[in-house]
Amino acid sequence: TVQDKKKKREERREKKKEGRRKKRERMKKAGPSSSRRGQDGQGVVSRVPKREVSQFSQSRDQLAMNSLIWAAHKDALVEQHARHLPSRNVQGGSKQAEELQAELSSLVRGGYVQSLQQNAGLISTLNGILVREG
């Protein structure tokens, strides 16, 4: 009958309410769950769905990962292209040029113009650097 159905429905509702109340007690006893913990480790008062939290934390990890990857990639690029860059962009490039210049001028001053022929390697290196410095 209609009364029986109403009674049953009411009982079901009571049962559900009871279950929810018990659950709430359990949650209170357990304290803030790790899934709802903020970045500072304090439990947040409002419940955040687990999905959201994991999504955010994942994006944080992803960001860290990406920056690491990019840093490594950049280092590799710099190493790879160091010889193509103007030497002033590579640390020590200009210094190297200055040293070679000094060496050459001292040779010339010392009257070692003949020995410059033997130092063709030095000259070509210097030329390469000067061209890049240009």
Q: What pTM does this model have?
A: 0.24
Q: What is the pLDDT of residue 28?
A: 77
Q: What is the pLDDT of residue 9?
A: 95
Q: What is the pLDDT along the chain (134 residues), one digit of tens a residue?
A: 999 999 999 999 999 999 999 988 887 776 665 555 444 444 444 554 445 445 555 566 666 666 666 666 666 666 666 555 555 444 555 666 666 667 666 665 655 555 555 556 666 666 666 655 54
Q: What is the pLDDT of residue 4?
A: 94
Q: Using the 8-state DSSP alphabet, how is residue 36 labeled?
A: G
The Cα–Cα gap between 112 and 121 comes to 15
Count of residues making up the chain: 134
Contact 36, 51 (CB under 8 A): no
Q: What is the pLDDT of residue 29?
A: 75
State both tokens at 87: 């030497």
The Cα–Cα gap between 73 and 53 comes to 30
